[in-house]
Structure 1
Amino acid sequence: MEVAAAKALKHFVIEQRDYKIRSVGQGYINTTFRVQEENLTVYILQCINNKVFPDVPALMENLRTILPLLAAEDYHPISFMPSKARLPYYKDEEGAFWRLLTFVPNSVAFDLTHEPDIAFEAGRILGLFHSCLENLPAASFKEVLPGFHDISLRRKEYLLALKQANSERLQSASKEIEFAEEAFFKLDVGFENLPVRICHNDTKLNNFLFSNVTGKALCLIDLDTVMPGYIIYDLGDAIRTLANPVSEDDTDLKKIGFDLDMVTAFLRGIKKSKLKLSDSEKQAIPSGVALMPYLHGLRALTDYLNNDVYYQISYADQNLDRCRNLFCFTRIVLEKKDAISKLVKSVLGK
């Protein structure tokens, strides 16, 4: 893959030097490389997964719309380098789509944290992200992944996978299948009364960049899923990775918990950003916090039943383990919804 990456790099409008290309081993969807000069990263090169994102030109047009707006004070800008065809991407002879991004220097991302200061900064920068985009009309955006967080659509996909799954996988996932049904009727509450916003839609912690000098949050990355949605998707997904002390791949379910102090810090960061939230959005936050791990767990279960065709896995039952982890966290959140609601009121007001 590094050979294809090196060839693709030559098709972008940058100074042609003897760059080194290093694979970045994280991310479930796209394939990412660091472009280095004398061991310093100068660009990020990505091969976009066009099976997941079938309309790459529309996706890149979405990004071309939002990136100029994400240049506010205290928000670090990111831009794409044009290809020699003057497009924000390059399509190679094999049909693969590539893009080249500017690198954010002195930055770091975290898969996990137990630091309230990081949770606070994540809330602040997410609030700033939404403030920058709040006047952008949703109708101007292409929905590159229709129904991405639509619980009814995800349930239809899951039920189809359930019908087609082999008996061995059905037996292995029997408890998770039982919980998928039980929790669906608790979480299918509808959010049609909420305002539609331009959302990130994938706000797990490692999509936030922080300064390794000041500790301040700099920006959000992995913007492919920026589309119309409800803000509780972004708040819920961020809280999912901040409140759980372990990663979604951890197989020791006894370690899973819900840290209210981390949620408090995150909500204080949202308040610091001065993001304007409606009363209905505030009231829906606890439901969003429960919905997001359930949706991620349901998608992992669906992929497991479909013989692992979507997410990248490193061992046979990884999707099932992810599902078990995420469903365990969902159970805990459902038990703590009242406490979360009180916390939202105390930090953000009614």
Structure 2
Amino acid sequence: MTKKGMEISRISSQFAIDGTFVGGKEIVSGLINVTYLAEYVNDVGERSRYVLQRINEQVFPDPHSVMRNISKVTKHINRKVFRRKRDFGGQTLNLYPGRDGKDFVEGPEGGVWRCYNYIEGCCNYDIVENTRQAYQAAKAFGAFQDLISDLSPSEISITIPDFHNTPSRYGKLMKAIKEDRFDRVKLVTEEIDFINNREEIVHVLLDHLKKGGLKERITHNDTKLNNVMIDEASDEAVCVIDLDTVMPGLTLYDFGDLVRTATSPVAEDETDLDKVEMRMPMFEALVEGYLETARNFLTPLEVDLLPFSGKLISFEVALRFLTDYLEGDIYFRVNREGQNLDRCRTQLALVKSIEDQEEQMLKFVKKVARFN
């Protein structure tokens, strides 16, 4: 057995998994956590696979609160799914307990690890390939929000303060620009000008929240397309994953991130910005899928702000990528020089594309909302 296999075996043996460990590998996909896939075989020869993840304590300094949040949300959803017998997108992962009964274990070399069931026959996509996938992903996240709409935000801990606080993200970027610790500001003057010219949009949603126009709810807070498992045969959404950032927030943050990740035809770090665009057919599919499952609890203002949310979240993520680039690439995992800067540039190009189509986007939202 390889050194990596032995490590995976040691970690997985601490969970209440039936059978004998027969192999494992690292899954290199996310930008934050370390993830392993472990395979077991039981006494009758049946094979099962499990996902092991170590929570990144640099990103989540209180991993126990992360796990409490995930446990509350998954149990709440599973009870409702079982009671309603709902089998469409909006179902969630199941946590396998440690042998001590907790929802997590401490790794042999430290760190908090968890174990999920592996969803067989499914995959996820970094780039949406068709409108059906966009529709299904939005339907899944809408159902996810609907299922936890009756769970009080007071029961969920804030594990990353100001995670979707756009004014705070803007302030952090301004601080990084002023400090310029890695002498990179001179390389991004165009990006800084673009951002400063749109400073007024950073306050819009939080101003509505302060005035009572928007309601704080429990949200996923990281609704990228690749956080929905899609059935490979049917293209139907099966499961929403990556629940680390489940926290109190605004539904518009969730929908906005869907627009950001599903409507652009290129990877997040695309270098040819001419390829970046907000594809209207994908946006329309998102709206139809999302409102099908989320319309019952959304307010009219939330519906009207759906197009704006895509622009804001694309803008906010651009702020985060550029801040990380100026601070030496310490948050998002990078595989090459300038990758975070390229990520920033694609987001800003998407912001511009949304601006050019925002009026048309709103007309479509209002049309669909009338029939839901």
Q: TM-score range by the shorter chain?
A: over 0.9
Letter of the aligned partner of 2:302 in structure 1? E
Determine which of 294, 297, 309 is the counterpart of 1:288.
Answer: 309
With 119-128 and 29-38 compared, the bigger mean Cα shift is at: 29-38
In the TM superposition, residue 156 of structure 1 has moved relative to its aligned partner by: 2.0
Is the Cα–Cα contact under 8 Å of residues 44 and 103 in structure 1 kept in the other structure? yes
Q: Specify which of 17, 20, 23 is matched with residue 20 of structure 2.
A: 17
Query: Larger deviation: 46-55 or 167-176?
Result: 167-176
Q: Paired residue for 1:191?
A: 208
Report if the CA contact (8 A) 1:126-1:270 is conserved: yes
Task: Verify: 1:141 aligned to 2:162, yes or no.
Answer: no
Q: CA deviation at 1:229?
A: 0.8
Matching residue of 1:51: 58
Distance in structure 1 (CA, Å) of the matches to 2:123 and 2:69: 25
Partner Cα distance (2:110, 2:257) in 1: 33
> Bigger shift: 79-88 or 319-328?
79-88
More divergent stretch after superposition (177-186 vs 297-306): 177-186
Does the 8 A contact of 2:8 with 2:38 survive in 1? no
Q: Does the 8 Å CA contact 2:93/2:116 hold for their aligned counterparts? A: yes
Is residue 300–residue 319 contact of structure 1 (8 Å, CA) maintained in 2?
Answer: yes
| TM-score of the superposed pair, with normalisation by structure 1 | 0.95
Q: TM-score, normalised by structure 2?
A: 0.89
Number of residue-to-residue matches in the alignment? 350
Q: Distance in 1 between matches of 2:172 and 2:313?
A: 16
User: How far apart, CA to CA, are the structure 2 residues paired with 1:161 and 1:250?
Assistant: 24
Q: Residue 220 of structure 1 corresponds to which residue in structure 2?
A: 240
| Paired residues of 1:112 and 1:247 also in contact (CA < 8 A) | yes
Quote the offset at 1:274 in angstroms: 5.3
How far did 1:95 drift? 2.7
The counterpart of 2:117, out of the listed 94, 102, 112, is: 102
**Partner residue in 2 for 1:242:** 262
Percentage of pairs with the same residue? 29
Note if 1:129 corresponds to 2:144: yes
Aligned mate of 2:68, from 61, 86, 100: 61
- Pick aligned residue for 1:310 from 331, 335, 358: 331
Residue 77 to residue 199, structure 1, CA distance change in 2 (3 Å)? closer
CA 77–166 in structure 1, closer or farther in 2 if over 3 Å, else same: closer
**Mapped pair 1:347 → 2:368:** yes
Identify the match of residue 227 of structure 2 among 189, 204, 207. Answer: 207
Counterpart code for 2:116:
L
**What per-residue deviation string (whole Å, max 9, x for no partner) do you get for residues 224-283 of structure 1?**
101111111111101111111111111110001111111111111123225321101011
Structure 1 match to 2:34:
31
Aligned to 2:130: 115
Residues in 1 aligned to 2:302 and 2:65: alpha-carbon distance in whole angstroms:
29
Question: Are 2:288 and 1:273 equivalent residues in the alignment?
Answer: no
Partner Cα separation in structure 1 for residue 201 and residue 173 of structure 2 = 17
Hey, what's the Cα distance between the residues in 1 that align with 2:304 and 2:148? 22
Aligned AA (1:21): G
C-alpha spacing 1:254/1:84, structure 2 compared with 1 (3 Å): same
Which of 170, 174, 184 is the equivalent residue of 1:159?
174
- Tell whether the 8 Å contact from 1:10 to 1:16 is kept in structure 2 after alignment: no
Distance 2:180 2:108 in 1: 36
**Pairwise CA RMSD:** 1.9
Cα distance in 1 between the residues matched to 2:273 and 2:365: 27
Change (3 A) 1:94 1:308: same
Aligned residue for 1:168, secondary structure, equals coil
Unaligned runs of 5+ in 1: none
Assess if the C-alpha contact under 8 Å between 2:19 and 2:40 holds in 1: no
2:341 partner amino acid: L
Distance in 1 (CA, whole Å) between partners of 2:30 and 2:131 is 25
Unmatched runs of 5 consecutive residues or more in structure 2: none
The aligned counterpart of 1:258 is: 278
Q: 1:331 Cα shift?
A: 1.5
Is the CA contact 1:130–1:275 (under 8 Å) kept in the aligned structure 2?
no
